[in-house]
Structure 1
Amino acid sequence: MSEKTGTNVKTGTAGPADGTEQRRLSVFKTYKLYVGGKFPRSESGRVYEVTTGTSAADTAGSGDWLANAPLSSRKDARDAVVAARKAFGGWAGATAYNRGQVLYRVAEMLEGRREQFAAEVADAEGLSKAKAAAQVDAAVDRWVWYAGWTDKIAQIVGGGNPVAGPFFNLSSPEPTGVVAVLAPQESSFLGLVSVLAPVIATGNTAVVIASEKAPLPALSLGEVLATSDVPGGVVNILSGRTAEIAAPLAAHQDVNAIDLAGADEALAKELEIAAADNLKRVLRPQPVDDWATTPGTDRMTAFLETKTVWHPTGSLGASGSAY
């Protein structure tokens, strides 16, 4: 056996025989998009450098290099819409109770990867480890919070309506459809969860554009969703230049609504005009000082439609049903 290789007599492990510790190469993580339950690279083959202080538009960067993120194209956006539309029927048709179980499973899986996400959020947002961990804890709690609302939201936005006549009617909420979500730029994980969870909790499917300058926590979330019983296509996550990806989504005829949380005023106005072409529901940017505060129900009701069914009243037949 060579003097320079063999078993380290000090540690009993394979390595240099002189007792020095063998160094190993780091295994860098490859970040990919999450579309249709799979992890493709951008069809364009493009990537951009993500650092502790850069954006897709500033590839020179000013901080430490973190990873290369996919630079999504318009084709990627269209593929994500196709996947979201395909998944909509099954997800909207699932019981509210079942959707709640799935969302709770996401929280369980995130809890098990808490340290990973805390490290990614700390790097992405320049936070201390303690503050980043608090953000992750709040995001996990946010998933649990919305999981509990899935079978309760109908109780506060639906119900029986007073009608003058020999009939009655009932109103119930139904999901809008495919929702494009521009994740907040500054809150890369808690803000993302806060705008995504209410969309899918109410039965919609989502095409998410991650924070342009800090997309890594969002891309890692795709890995959690893929192992959390969330059907493929219910959530699709893209990274890259927000304006470049959002434009085709706002104009897409098969996108039913758009949340502009991550758009600045100029971009929001441009996208709202494009969305008007097929009468999309539009949720304009709303100032949020602290994403950790209780969100309320506004983001759930923003992407719900009200269905009203009329029933005649009268004598009951032999079958016991109204006619």
Structure 2
Amino acid sequence: MSRLDINKTYKLYIGGKFPRTESGRYYTINNSSGNLIANMCLASRKDFRNAVVIARKAQNSWANATALNKGQILYRIAEILEGRKEQFILELITQGEARKVAQKEVETAIDRLVYYAGWSDKYQQLFSAVNPVSSSHFNFSNLEPVGVVSIIAPEEQSLLGLVSVIAPAIVGGNTVVVLASESKPLTSISFAEVLNSSDVPGGVVNILTGNKAELVSHMASHMDVNAIVYCGKDENELKEISELASNNVKRTIFYKKSNWENKLCESPYFIEKTQEVKTTWHPTEI
């Protein structure tokens, strides 16, 4: 007797778990021939709110983890992704990429994780300072994470783009709620499985799939989100995000990049974008 294959069920990733969307909605992903690849969860506004609550709860303990620990965790993510490289290549091929292109994207994503793991205990030295002052004080400036960051990931290069925006945000102590590529979401949930089997604490990274037009306004206006990263070139969305984010002085970070393989798409300045400067005064004498 022949048997039926057990097809993968793609769910959301919130708080270290894989729930279905609370709305029960889904949308279909088809290949270039029109054949069904998968049914993806269509995340709702409530899913996003739930993810923000969990990300906020996880943020303080993650921010207080040592730089060494954060770097080790990012390196562990890279190790697991390396071990599952062929799976991710096949998923990218299923979504329409050529094998050579897919292999390059997966390998670059792995290398990018290692790159940011290396910066974990170094970016503070680059951006912090001892400031000259005229009074009898020491004046120090150092970086602190902004807190909870909502991210609208790149539509193309769905794995590499996802990694390129998540890694610098979390290595700096932020927690994130990410809306993955709408048209090519398979690797985003598989990447969530990698995160879940690594040492990333639940709630540090939360990944949603769904309709960008439906969720972008909520991601920009939520009052407990401290920064939003938007990857895209739609001028109407850029304007809407800027206006809504101003209601709670939310930091806006816009990436209009089309090729995330470029070396200019990795830099400690990507970490600095989701940091704020804290200045401390300390008397030289007591």
TM-score between the two structures when normalised by the length of structure 1? 0.85
Shift of 1:290: 4.2
Give the Cα separation in 2 of the matches to 1:309 and 1:108.
38
- Aligned counterpart, 2:202: 232
Give the Cα separation in 2 of the matches to 1:217 and 1:108.
16
Q: Superposition RMSD on alpha carbons, in Å?
A: 1.3
SS in 2 for 1:189: helix
Give the Cα separation in 2 of the matches to 1:70 and 1:251.
22
Give the Cα separation in 1 of the matches to 2:258 and 2:271.
16
Post-superposition Cα deviations, 1:182-239, rounded to whole Å, max 9, x if no partner, equal 0000111001110111010100000000001011100111111111110000000000
**Is the radius of gyration larger for structure 1 or structure 2?**
1
Higher relative contact order (CA 8 A, sep 6+): 2
The reply on whether 1:123 has 2:102 as its aligned counterpart is no
Unmatched 5+ stretches in structure 2: none
SS in 1 for 2:78: helix
- Aligned counterpart, 2:154: 184
Q: Where do residues 152-163 of structure 1 align in structure 2 (5 Å cutoff)?
A: 152-163=122-133
The more displaced of 222-231 and 254-263 is 254-263
Q: Where do residues 68-87 of structure 1 align in structure 2 (5 Å cutoff)?
A: 68-87=39-58
- Aligned counterpart, 2:256: 286
Q: Alignment length, in residue pairs?
A: 285
Pick the aligned partner of 1:172 from 142, 145, 158: 142
CA distance 1:69–1:140, change in 2 (3 Å): same
Give the Cα separation in 1 of the matches to 2:197 and 2:283.
47
Unmatched 5+ stretches in structure 1: 1-21, 54-61, 315-322
Pick the aligned partner of 1:111 from 61, 65, 82: 82
Give, as a single letter, the amino acid of the residue that structure 2 aligns with 1:210. A
SS in 2 for 1:200: helix
SS in 1 for 2:281: strand
SS in 2 for 1:284: strand
The reply on whether 1:40 has 2:57 as its aligned counterpart is no
Q: Where do residues 138-149 of structure 1 align in structure 2 (5 Å cutoff)?
A: 138-149=108-119
Contact 1:194–1:291 (CA under 8 A) maintained in structure 2: no
- Aligned counterpart, 1:318: none
Shift of 1:164: 1.4
SS in 1 for 2:206: strand
- Aligned counterpart, 1:49: 28
Shift of 1:168: 1.5
- Aligned counterpart, 1:303: 274
- Aligned counterpart, 1:16: none
Shift of 1:289: 3.3
SS in 2 for 1:41: coil
The more displaced of 235-244 and 255-264 is 255-264
TM-score between the two structures when normalised by the length of structure 2? 0.96
- Aligned counterpart, 2:166: 196
Contact 2:73–2:200 (CA under 8 A) maintained in structure 1: yes
SS in 2 for 1:224: helix
Pick the aligned partner of 1:96 from 55, 67, 73: 67
Moved over 4 A (4+): none
The reply on whether 1:272 has 2:242 as its aligned counterpart is yes
Give the Cα separation in 2 of the matches to 1:71 and 1:239.
6
